[in-house]
Amino acid sequence: MALSEKEKSKRWRERHPEKKAERAAYVAQWRLRNPDKLTAYSEKQKKDRILESALDSPTVHWDTQKKFKKYNLDKDQLRELLDAHNGKCYLCGKEIAGKSRHIDHDHETGKVRKILCSSCNTGLGLFHDNVELLKRRFFILICTEL
């Protein structure tokens, strides 16, 4: 059985404990020289943790599996939807994970549109996918701002 890169690295570190301090110093200097890369890496790690909690958390596993079947999605397709907006709600931009994640879809065709938070999904649901109602509400908001 071939070892993963992670396992190879772990075994090398176990065989060379004297390199630990040297590696720590190198990493510390790299972080000082590359703050932009570190920020980008940290953001990616954060997004990945949110994504994994949305996909693999035991507390939402049944709910997630049900949604996969209901909307004919696999994990990769759901990951694409979440990645498209960095794990955030398409409408308001709030980070979403677990049960606050809702799959917005066309109620007639069943076609998946976007991933929304609970609040935005509820708000849209109150308009029953009626574009005219939404337009009138939008018009009211615009007129009252003037």
**Could you give the CA distance from residue 95 to residue 22 in angstroms, rounded to a whole number?**
38
Distance between first and last Cα of the chain: 69
pLDDT in tens, the chain (146 residues): 688 888 888 898 889 988 888 888 898 898 899 989 888 888 777 766 666 665 555 444 445 556 666 777 777 787 788 788 887 888 898 887 666 778 888 878 888 888 888 888 888 888 887 889 888 888 888 887 65
Two tokens, residue 83: 């990645």
Question: pTM of the full predicted structure?
Answer: 0.52
Whether 66 and 101 have beta carbons less than 8 Å apart is answered as no
Q: Which three-class secondary structure state does DSSP give residue 128? A: coil
Cβ-based neighbours of 36, under 8 Å, separated by 6 or more: none
Q: Domain extents for the chain? A: 8-117
